[in-house]
């Protein structure tokens, strides 16, 4: 839905909790999903986005403990 409403060259920035397993994603006991970096990259390509930048790091705290994740910057492809 984002791609349908975004102009060419628009940026889509988001973070995900990191999932190092073989699966594309995992539902954590916290009720949050964690996604593998490869899965996000596959979805970006499939939906017409280019990966502009990916960084790993601490994205938020949960009960005083940092949660590791990925920060993704995607860009819509020009027509």
Q: What is the pLDDT of residues 18-53, one digit of tens each?
A: 998 889 999 999 899 999 999 999 999 999 899 999
Q: pLDDT category, 78, cuts 50, 70, 90?
A: low
Q: How far is CA 15 from CA 43, 54, 70, 73, 78, in A?
A: 14, 10, 5, 9, 24
Q: pTM value?
A: 0.85
Give the tens place of pLDDT for each residue, 60-75.
999 999 999 999 999 9
Strand runs labelled E in the chain: 11-18, 25-27, 33-35, 49-62, 65-76
The reported pLDDT for the residue numbered 8 is 87
Cα 44 vs. chain centroid, distance in angstroms?
Answer: 9
């Amino acid at each position: 839905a984002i791609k349908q409403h975004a102009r060419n060259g628009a940026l889509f920035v988001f973070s995900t909790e990191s999932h190092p397993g073989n699966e594309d994603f995992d539902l954590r006991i916290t009720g949050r999903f964690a996604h593998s970096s490869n899965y996000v990259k596959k979805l970006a390509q499939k939906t017409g986005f280019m990966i502009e930048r990916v960084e790993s790091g601490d994205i938020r705290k949960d009960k005083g403990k940092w949660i590791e994740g990925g920060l993704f910057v995607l860009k819509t492809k020009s027509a």
